[in-house]
Amino acid sequence: MGWGGVGATLVGCDLPTTVTLEEGKEKVVSYLMPEEYVIPGVGVWYASTCQQCPSGCGIHGRVREGRVLKLEGNPASSVNKGRLCQMGQASLQAHYNPDRISKPKIRRGSSLVDASWEEAYGLIAEKTANISGSKFAWMTGSISGHQSVLLQAYLESIGSGNHFVHETINNAVWAKVSQDMLGDSNPRIRLDKAQSVLSFGADFLGTWGSPLHFSTEYAKFRTSPRGILIQVEPNMTLTGANADLWVASRPGSEGALALGIANQLVSKHGLSMSGLPGSVQSLIRSYTLDETVTATGVDADRIADIAATLKRRSPSVVLAGASAQGHEHGYQCVAAAMVLNVILGNIGKTIESNGEFAYASMAPVSGNTQSLVSFSQAAADKRFDVAFFSGVNPVYTAPKSLGLKESLANIPFKVVFSHFNDETTAMADVVLPLASAEEDWGTHVAPYQAGVGEISIQQPLMEPLSTETRGFGDIVLTLLKKRKETAYEGFADYYAYLRNAFSTIPAEHKNGASDDQFWADVLAAGLIDVGVKETSLKVKGVEFDMPKEMGNSSAMVLAPSARLGFWDGRHANLPWLQEAPDQISKVVWDSWAELHPSTAKKIGVKEGDMVKIASASGEINVKVYIYKGVHPDVIAVPLGQGHDADFSRYAKDRGVNSLSILDAKVDRMTGELALYSTNVKVTKAAKTDDVLVRFGGSETQVGRKLVSTIPADVYERTEGGDHVA
């Protein structure tokens, strides 16, 4: 790693290989005179940052003879501590993907045709020359670091404040509730200190928060004395599959269940409600055991046992995520979960202050779906003349009921920064081909950091595969120069900009090193910790209600569940992830709908049969996978497939997009899309010749006793364990 500083620059510039993506045109030059730091056959590892999801994990990339061959986690990163998930591993397939866009494109009539960068930049400069700030918008995914600084500078140069930050998989409601009730939108969660965890739909091992960080913390939670995990959710997630007790919930009932557990803790176990507003105390008193059973359908014994476990296995931590926040009263459900933390005395023990990142302009800006809703509305109202899109594919992630695809016709000039053709590039007037994560420079601040303020560096791991792609920072820098922003004229490229930015980092973080040595040290380590401003948590009395009708209807509900794999659909073009069996169903290369056996029987379908799922906003046809890890009133169709644009040869025309048929309902407090509140009608559809391809094939042991089980009470008696009855 000592080579990091020097090597990274040389890797990008000096190696004599010539590589193209076009079959038949590849030119191989024998490697007779490698650079002196290259030992043929010996790999060198360089530090960088994963860009496959917003978590910001540190990586090491193994480079051999000028090509990056393998990625692993950077042990120095406090986010992932040396781990790398399958999405991170598959980043190489995004980099080497044969379907990457390798040239700028400009719309001519109904087609996008290849163009030069000069033409693309010229057109953008022309369309933005005299634009009024309010007529310009930029939609990005979660963003931080110097990319965020430059993006804000560009918005300022235009006089626009219209930055929409969109992520379908997000913690926006948890952040809002934490801010309102604790004064910190991003508190530190100490799984390592907890003896029990109750999670309402927070898939913290898969898609919630910072999955790799929480996976390492979870490992500590499970060491002696082994912590107890209780997961409440409509369909089983990776976290649910690891739980000691998994409780199937009807979407919308999570808040009532949390209040019912709170009632038990107060009435049966003598815990105090002090600190909570009188109205919330009355609400908790109203959720008696009978009332809670009626509202949730969960057994009285089960509710009482969860409360007893949380009391006995203290300190605990209570979390709330996707399915808990995904309806019209999502805020209230998450607030009810946070109330449990207050009653259980977890604040300050397992939920701590996390501090605040010291450099506001580089601080992470996390995405949500409220921005997608408000952008769609603004587009429908013809508020924008020019819109940029980067790091997002809103035409795919927006439910059709939002009408975004049609409203985009109201924006006369659309520029999309992208690595691949997708549903949004298909609507663009200009497409700018991006360098891959392994070819680009950047700095990133992970949105969830455990009490530290790390800036993680992204450095190119190899020479660009195409001479016609550009780094995001380089493009924004060029656009700023085109707007005659003189402050940027001295920077030849984004690399020069970053070098200069690092020279301005306060001396206290440089350990007496010169600017050059400091830069080399940061590249070698992959990060620098600039600390955080101390903050403190203070429980505030927030009032909320809980409509009694929530969660006790019997209509079928669609659950568009997320997976650490395709994520929000952005990775469906990576064959490793198509080939990797789903963590729950083991399905490969397809979509499926999860149905409870009792529901499947009512509908008259068996595994592999096709069902039609119809909402008020559309319908999809998909094969069914039948198992017990789903609530009988729920049909779950995981996210990711169903791309209708030319999103690579691997994803095109494969499976269905469950987001597409969601109703345009939102959480009334935060405006977040209510992803788990679309009622659907499910009927048997005509069978196709396709089979549902699953790895494995059987979920029973067919009497072979491959895994032995014993009743919990026997375990407790003979092994001294603790269990949830």
For residue 577 the two structure tokens come to 């992830």
Least distance between ligand SF4 and beta carbon 574 (Å)? 11
Is residue 660 involved in binding ligand SF4 (CB under 6 A)?
no
Binding mask 490-529 toward ligand SF4 (x if CB under 6 A, else -) reads ----------------------------------------
Interface residue with ligand SF4 among 48, 55, 458, 658 (CB under 6 A) is 55
Q: Which residues pair with 595 in a beta bridge?
A: 626
**600: contact with ligand SF4 by CB under 6 A:** no
Contact assessment for residue 256 and residue 295, using Cβ atoms and an 8 Å cutoff: yes
Q: How far apart are CA 525 and CA 519, in angstroms?
A: 10
CB of 568 to ligand SF4, least distance (A): 12
In the list 5, 206, 211, 632, the residue contacting ligand SF4 (rule: CB under 6 A) is 211
CB 53 → ligand SF4: shortest distance, Å?
3
Amino acid (one-letter) located at 486: T
Asked if residues 611 and 593 have their Cβ atoms less than 8 Å apart, the reply is: yes
The tokens describing 581, both together, are 């069996």
Helix (H, G, I), strand (E, B) or coil at 471: coil
Q: Which x/- pattern, by CB under 6 A, does the window 468-487 give for ligand SF4? A: --------------------
Token pair 């009632």: residue:
263
Least separation in angstroms between residue 546's CB and ligand SF4 is 33
- Does residue 85 belong to the site contacting ligand SF4 (CB under 6 A)? yes
> Would you count residue 640 as binding ligand SF4 (CB under 6 A)?
no
The CB-of-707 to ligand SF4 minimum distance in angstroms stands at: 29
Q: Which two tokens stand for residue 352?
A: 């701590």
Region binding ligand SF4 by CB under 6 A among candidate stretches 50-58, 168-176, 587-595, 611-619: 50-58
AA identity, residue 640: G
> Which one, 210 or 354, has the nearer CB to ligand SF4?
210
Residue 68 within binding range of ligand SF4, rule CB under 6 A: no
Q: Six-digit token pair at 515?
A: 């600017």
User: Pick from 643, 623, 620, 603: which is nearest to 691 by CA?
Assistant: 623
Stretch that binds ligand SF4, among 55-63, 138-146, 166-174, 500-508 (CB under 6 A): 55-63
Collapsing DSSP states into helix, strand and coil, what is residue 43?
Answer: coil
Which residue type is seen at 148? S
Out of 181, 212, 257, 318, the only residue in the binding site for ligand SF4 (CB under 6 A) is: 212
The answer to the question of residue 436 lying near ligand SF4 (CB under 6 A) is no
Of 356-385, binders to ligand SF4 (CB under 6 A) are: none
- How many whole angstroms separate alpha carbon 647 and alpha carbon 575? 12
Residues 292 to 331: which contact ligand SF4 by CB under 6 A?
none
Q: Which stretch binds ligand SF4 (CB under 6 A): 80-88, 164-172, 342-350, 693-701?
A: 80-88
Q: Which amino acid is at 487?
A: A
Q: Considering Cα of 271, then 277, then 278, then 284, what sign does the dihedral take?
A: negative
Closer to ligand SF4 by Cβ: residue 201 or 447: 447
| Residue 56 beta carbon to ligand SF4: minimum distance, rounded to whole angstroms | 6
Binding status of residue 234 toward ligand SF4 by CB under 6 A: no
Could you tell me the smallest distance in angstroms from the CB atom of residue 362 to ligand SF4? 18
Is the peptide bond between 225 and the residue preceding it cis, with omega within 30 degrees of 0? yes
Which amino acid would we find at residue 467? T
Count of residues engaged in binding ligand SF4, rule: CB under 6 A: 13
Type of residue at 247? V
Applying CB under 6 A, does 57 fall inside the site for ligand SF4? yes
Contact 148, 56 (CB under 8 A): no
Answer yes or no: are the C-beta atoms of 346 and 318 closer than 8 Å. yes
Q: Which is nearer to ligand SF4, 144 or 160 (CB)?
A: 144
Least distance (Å) between residue 600 CB and ligand SF4: 33
3-class SS of residue 613: strand
Q: Based on DSSP, count helices (H) and strands (E) in the chain, helices before strands.
A: 24, 27
Structure tokens at 41: 């056959």
37 burial class (0-12, 13-18, 19+ CB within 10 angstroms)? exposed
Cα separation of 323 and 240, whole Å? 12
Among 48, 52, 296, 390, binds ligand SF4 (CB under 6 A): 52
Residues that bind ligand SF4 (CB under 6 A): 50, 52-53, 55-57, 80, 84-85, 87-88, 211-212
